[in-house]
Chains A and B, each alone.
Chain A
Amino acid sequence: MAENKDHILIVEDSDITLYKVKAVLIRLGYDVTAFNNPVNALDWLLSTPNQPDLILLDVVMPQMDGYEFIRRVRGQAQTEKIPIILLTSHVDTRDKIEGLEAGADDYLGKSASLTELELRVKALLARKHSTEDSITQISARSIAVFSLRGGVGVSSMAVNLSIAISQLWGIETCLWDIVMGVGQCALMMNLKPNASITSLSEWAEKTVDETILRSMLLKHESGVWLMPGAPGVEESELITAKTVDLVWPVVQTLSPYLIIDAGNHFSDPTLTILERADVILLVLAPELASVNASYQALKVFSDLGFPAGKVIPVVNNIIPSSTLEVTKIAAGLKKQIVTEIPYDGRNMVRAINQGIPYIMTSPRSDTSLAISTLAYRLSSSDMESKMTGHSTPQLDGIRRNVRGK
């Protein structure tokens, strides 16, 4: 009974209701934060990094009614998606409409049985988690590819994913390599940078405009524009969080999708990128050290207040066979694994040596299909409506696969 550690906030001005509901939820194994004053609850909610997974909220309270509380919660980016159950003693249609208009997700009468309370809480939490874990509907215009452990294929993933999105929809994408001093992406794409973002430090106080950024981009035949990283380790120190702040608003406008090779450690510029990206693909290999590093990364993301749904773990099979099953990795991370990239090490290395991205040298492999399917899941919610009727054999195949699941 006590394995569930979802975090529930109760806001209820009656000490008796608060006491009882809190006791029941703790008994069910939840972490509970309780306030008998909605104003204090709101202050806490808008400042805590420990965001609740669900809110149980009274309607009639003297300092601020439940509807106003919901409107305030829904008005803030960090809290807008938290599911809310209204605890109410009068459940007539008028109240239901007002609550739903304000943004409540469900109702619970105060005289409802404890079993009903348990079931409604469980149902709403399950719905929340399934939404977080499903990436079929994500609108991800900026995708940061990251790992806390090197050598798991972050740069390969960033390069091949950028190409996959370009090819699926016949559009341009922008790939930004921010990894310090290595220039892996340019190498994999056989591109020779002549300028890099490090030169922006000279203009640190100036506005970075599109022309300046475009002058640094390298065009790849696949439809990807590469913004190369620092040419050397020393230059890489010139890239700061401020550089990222200057570049971010402009780089986003260069193409419909921005993919960032965010490397494998937490530096200030990396954290700025990870914070700003719509989605973080957390790449991990099926080995314990990588799973542990991913667990630590997830903990940092949670402490920073990133919504759980923003981080998508991707298991990249960089070794031929692993004894660590994906179900065990998911249990260790306490996160569903939706995407697993099959092993094709030999062809992957050959592609790097040739300077031709893997997805172009082995377009029909299972590995390429998995990357393209991930690309589809990240882009379909926007692109399907924008490109109605767009059809290629590859796209149609992926559509069938994704919808069939």
Chain B
Amino acid sequence: MNIFVETKLTTSSPYIDENVLDEFKKFMGDEGDSLARELIELYLKNTPKLMSDIENDIKSGNMESLKVHVHGLKGSSAQLGVTGIASLCRNIEDVILEGRFVEIKPMYDKLKEVYREVELNYRERI
């Protein structure tokens, strides 16, 4: 290993499938890196609002609104390859469909925890 070459190492996260953004970067050519960074910035900007919408839906018991917000978070997470969040959202959607509402809160807590880790990971990159 050449110790004189400065490399920026990105800690890998079990919640992120790097192939998804790598594919996007490759597809977009020269602009790939900067567009991928903008995508991450957009994700970090939008997700806190979605998380608080989800929290409010759980508190007020508004399952219809919860479905839409969880679905939105699932879709945007999938676009970046944040599989940890996308699959948790899918589980929450299933639980709503099956009417097992008591299971939603602990799943949301897990969602917050995973998002914190994803956020930290992403902040290192931009």
Chain A 84-138 interface residues, beta-carbon cutoff 8 Å to B: 89-90, 110-111, 113-114
B98 at the interface (CB under 8 A from A): no
Residues of chain B contacted by A23 (CB below 8 angstroms): 28, 35
Q: Give A90 to B20 CA distance when docked, in angstroms.
A: 18
Pick from B28, B74, B75, B86: contact of A27, CB below 8 A. Answer: B28
Q: Assess the A62–B68 pair: CB atoms within 8 A.
A: yes
Chain A CB within 10 Å — which of B42, B80, B86 has the most?
B42
CA distance A14 to B71 in the complex (A): 10
Closest to A12 in B: B75
The answer on a CB contact under 8 Å between A27 and B29 is yes
- Please, what's the 1-or-0 string for B60-101, where 1 marks a CB less than 8 Å from any CB in chain A? 000000011001101110111000001000100100000000
Distance A62 CA – B29 CA, assembled complex (angstroms): 34
Q: Interface residue tally of chain B, by bracket?
A: 20 to 34
A11-67 residues at the B interface, CB under 8 angstroms: 13-17, 19-20, 23-24, 27, 58, 60-62
Our count of residue pairs bridging A and B at CB distance below 8 angstroms stands at 56
Residues of A within 8 A of B29 (CB): 27
Shortest beta-carbon distance, A219 to chain B, in Å?
Answer: 65
Interface of B is mostly: helix
Q: Which residue of chain B has its CB nearest to the CB of A118? A: B27
> In the complex, how many angstroms separate the beta carbon of B85 from the nearest chain A beta carbon?
12
Whether B78 pairs with A24 at a CB distance below 8 angstroms is no
Q: Are B71 and A60 in contact (CB under 8 A)?
A: yes
B15 at the interface (CB under 8 A from A): no
CB of B124 within 8 Å of the partner chain: no
Let me know if B28 and A24 touch, CB within 8 A.
yes
Contact A114 B76 (CB under 8 A): no
Whole-angstrom distance between the Cβ of A354 and the nearest chain B Cβ: 65
With A19-B39, A20-B39 as known contacts, state yes or no: A14 contacts B23, CB within 8 Å: no
Subset of 14 A-B contacts with CB under 8 Å? A14-B72, A15-B46, A16-B42, A16-B75, A17-B75, A19-B39, A19-B42, A23-B28, A24-B28, A27-B28, A89-B71, A90-B93, A110-B79, A114-B27
- Chain B interface (Cβ < 8 Å from any Cβ of A): 20, 23-24, 27-29, 35, 38-39, 42-43, 46, 67-68, 71-72, 74-76, 78-80, 86, 90, 93
